[in-house]
Amino acid sequence: LKRLNALRREGLSSKLVVWSRLRREDFELALKTEASWVAVSFGISDIHLKYKFNGLKREEALMKVFEAIDYLHSHGVKVSMHLEDSTRADLNYIVEFLKNVNAEKFRDCDT
């Protein structure tokens, strides 16, 4: 945190974006940096939901993401969702996800 805040004080023209997992403790640390953006990584494929998120159902995953984005927005932060393992995810699920999630940006990434 000290390092990031020191960089911010240098008057750089670029905006600070911090990365986090879909975890409240990561969000708390991200907010302490006073970054204007938080990039949240989320494994969107059924494989990630099963193995990385212990069998989380798609609907439950969507609710977790809603809650995360609402929480970050309530603190004045913009959100970029990083959709991990998207090339193995169901395209219809991704489309539905993107239609319903209120993030400012999305990043389609294959991990």
Tens of pLDDT, residue by residue over 45-86, are: 999 999 988 999 999 999 999 999 999 999 999 999 999 999
Amino acid at 109: C
> Which pLDDT value is given to residue 60?
93
> Which pLDDT value is given to residue 19?
93
> For 1-111, where are the alpha helices, taking DSSP H only?
2-9, 24-32, 46-51, 58-74, 91-100
3-state class of 106 per DSSP? strand
Domains of the chain, by residue range, sit at 2-9+16-108
* Predicted TM-score of the model (pTM): 0.85
Q: 7 or 31: whose pLDDT is higher?
A: 31
> Which pLDDT value is given to residue 63?
92
Query: How confident is the model over 79-105, as pLDDT tens digits?
Result: 999 999 999 999 999 999 899 889 999
pLDDT class of 111 with cuts at 50, 70, 90: low
Please tell me the number of Cα atoms within 13 Å of 53 on its side-chain side: 22
CATH number for the domain formed by residue range(s) 2-9+16-108: 3.20.20.70
